[in-house]
Amino acid sequence: RKEVEQDPGPFNVPEGATVAFNCTYSNSASQSFFWYRQDCRKEPKLLMSVYSSGNEDGRFTAQLNRASQYISLLIRDSKLSDSATYLCAVRGSSGNTPLVFGKGTRLSVIA
Amino acid sequence: NAGVTQTPKFQVLKTGQSMTLQCAQDMNHEYMSWYRQDPGMGLRLIHYSVGAGITDQGEVPNGYNVSRSTTEDFPLRLLSAAPSQTSVYFCASTGESSYNEQFFGPGTRLTVL
């Protein structure tokens, strides 16, 4: 089983739709979790960290389910500009362990 | 701050040639890493470093060497380039806490003929 798994998509949704991505991780000792956004031919950039209690940033909501070992990202009221690849990332039990990425989920928001 | 910088942006090599991909950061981060990204494969860790003088292997280290003589610089060396090393290479750095954001450089697009 891969350490971090995501549905590759693509997810094609109309503007204004709500879309959700899940990401599962295999290491139960993982301590920190992130969602990154990557535009075509660009470097990944942090979208949001994922906290145990869940967190929201505008139209974006991230949640962590430690019991089932997955994190989720919910995007409400999708915009054309949300079209990108979304990568989940997981880090182990200390700051010195590498960040492991899923393969990413492609989202296309259509007018 | 320039953040994480990488040079060159693009490079074409012939099989068997060697080269060094440069990476530098000006955020005084201890932790730096190199990833390669291939279609359908996601970001795969090549090597990483937790501080000057300390390096370790990631998931796909074969064919690559690294060194970390200063906090700022983390070059990646291809010893004898192979077509399988055609990829986009990203360097990244992170502050000490595991909750800190990992910053990426703009990437180097490498083609090996």
Confidence of residue B39 (pLDDT cuts 50, 70, 90): confident
Does pLDDT of B98 surpass 70? no
| Sign of CA pseudo-dihedral A1, B99, B107, A57 | positive
Beta carbons of B66 and B54 less than 8 angstroms apart: no
Confidence of residue B88 (pLDDT cuts 50, 70, 90): very high
Say what the pLDDT of residue B99 is.
67
Beta carbons of B21 and B75 less than 8 angstroms apart: yes
Nearest CA to A80 out of A13, A21, A35 is that of A13
Structure tokens at A32: 């920190």
CB pairs under 8 A between A and B: 54
Q: What beta strand segments (E) does chain A contain?
A: 4-6, 11-14, 19-25, 32-38, 45-50, 55-57, 60-65, 70-75, 84-91, 99-101, 105-110
pLDDT in tens, B46-81: 999 999 999 999 999 999 999 999 999 999 999 999
What residues of A are in the B interface, CB distance below 8 Å?
A: 8, 31-32, 34, 42-46, 49, 87, 89, 91-104
